[in-house]
Chain A
């Protein structure tokens, strides 16, 4: 709760800060960006609505147990690959993603696999890509960014294997 409040304060504080800079450049600059931002907001709302409301249904048909099952005890590179798929397929927000990671750690999942899972979730979780990244960014950028990011959960797992446990 307090974290959410902290985020909101920081967020609106930043908006206020850059807004002030824009205002000091002159009221036309300020007004134009205000209008630009509001237009972006109006354009984005239908897509966010589709994403927020829709992802609830998508999440409902992918049970968490399926994801947890994929983070099994396989400790090799196959385990890392499964963890990456599991990370991308994890529905819901950060609570679910990190909780699954914790469960996997506690139930004997390998540390590199859990790292790969968390990194893959951060990079590709389909719900965030659908809900946030595609509405805000040019679609071409999003696909490109995802494709280019594919090696990195594996790189993270490799680093984890080399430097060992926390």
Chain B
């Protein structure tokens, strides 16, 4: 079905006019720098307010949180890597690409809704989908669906805290939103980057 090309998951004729997202990662980008600056300022404010003890309290708490999260991050990365390897690229770009229409948005929505795990799976998998030919619209539908109608957070947190009635009602209201967000994303994307769209036509 899919060609075994482990070294080069997206062949050149995929006609992507940008570096494959999610596969080419710079460890330090401008977002990282902004976040680091924000963290430094916040830590300084905490230090001024609570002294060294306050800074260390947060550090120990967050370090233990971090060590608990790490295995899940590894699982998420592996899940993303396996999925991008086993999904046939032509099929993904046909069913989730820019030309996939409403069906593509619905597939993205369904995928986001059934995806297991938390942010440590949703974002690596979304990134993998982008890398194998899904467009921004379908990926937005998937991410928004995961965050609004995915069962993971609802079962683990929302139902116990906010109650079943509110949660189910809130999810019902949210049902159309992933498709709408994906459609709006596609609508804006084609107008922002018209050239990329015509590149995709060649694929």
Inter-subunit contact B136/A28 (CB<8 Å): no
Inter-subunit contact B177/A148 (CB<8 Å): no
* Chain A, interface residues (CB within 8 Å), range: 35 or more
Inter-subunit contact A152/B180 (CB<8 Å): yes
Inter-subunit contact B130/A138 (CB<8 Å): yes
| Other A-B pairs beyond A29-B4, A44-B77, A48-B73, 4, CB < 8 Å | A45-B70, A48-B66, A115-B173, A145-B143
Inter-subunit contact B162/A101 (CB<8 Å): yes
Q: In the complex, what residues of B have CB within 8 A of residue A37's CB?
A: 74, 77-82
Q: In the complex, what residues of A have CB within 8 A of residue B203's CB?
A: none
Interface members, chain B 131-183 (any A CB < 8 Å): 136, 139-140, 143-144, 147-148, 152-153, 155-158, 161-163, 165-166, 168-170, 173-174, 177, 180-181
Inter-subunit contact A94/B4 (CB<8 Å): no
Interface members, chain A 24-75 (any B CB < 8 Å): 25-26, 28-29, 31-34, 36-38, 40-41, 43-58, 60-61
* Bound-state Cα–Cα, A54 to B36, Å: 8
Interface string of B16-40 (1 = CB under 8 A from A): 0000011101010111100110110
Inter-subunit contact A136/B124 (CB<8 Å): yes
- Count of chain B residues near A, Cβ 8 A: 92
Q: A21-B82, A37-B81, A130-B35 are in contact. Are A56 and B62 (CB under 8 A)?
A: yes
Inter-subunit contact A32/B82 (CB<8 Å): no
B63 close to chain A: CB less than 8 A: yes
Q: A54-B38, A122-B148 are in contact. Are A137 and B127 (CB under 8 A)?
A: yes
Interface string of A113-156 (1 = CB under 8 A from B): 00100110011000010111111111111001101110110011
Q: In the complex, what residues of B have CB within 8 A of residue A52's CB?
A: 62, 65-66, 69
* Bound-state Cα–Cα, A44 to B70, Å: 10
Q: In the complex, what residues of A have CB within 8 A of residue B123's CB?
A: 132-133, 135-137
Q: In the complex, what residues of B have CB within 8 A of residue A33's CB?
A: 6, 78, 81-82, 84-86
